[in-house]
Copies of this chain bind each other. A is one copy, B any other.
């Protein structure tokens, strides 16, 4: 059975804007942090993926903002792979503040796999371990 740690991010002053709260674009960056941490915890650090000649671009991203996040807070991000059809996959995120465990935001990103030249690649052939992992993960999430 898999034990997975949530991802934590300490809010930085430079992430705030003139409204006094974190600028909304940064949540999309935090999703990336959480996603790459998720891959690393799964045994697939993104640096290794790139060294194997693969890229994982973002096809779509969305975020629903519920409660503002402020400087001085630490956010806890729960991440999971929702869907994988062999070519594309979807990752879901929930952002909580660590202290009160209130849901501040949630969102999704959608991805595919490409070769370094931005051409499509079959990871079933090119990276069967990654393919198996994603297939296994999403079976459990159906």
Residues of chain A at the chain B interface (Cβ within 8 Å): 12-14, 16-21, 23-26, 28-29, 32-33, 36, 45-47, 55, 57-65, 68, 71-72, 118
Known contacts: A29-B25, A63-B62. The answer to whether A55 contacts B19 by CB under 8 A is yes
Of all chain B residues, the one with the shortest Cβ separation from A47 is B72
- B-chain residues with CB within 8 Å of residue A118 when the two chains form the complex: 68
The smallest beta-carbon distance between A120 and chain B, in angstroms, is 14
The smallest beta-carbon distance between A115 and chain B, in angstroms, is 12
The smallest beta-carbon distance between A21 and chain B, in angstroms, is 8
Partner of A24, one of B24, B28, B72: B28
Of all chain B residues, the one with the shortest Cβ separation from A35 is B13
Question: In the bound complex, how far is the Cα of B61 from the Cα of A97, in angstroms?
Answer: 20
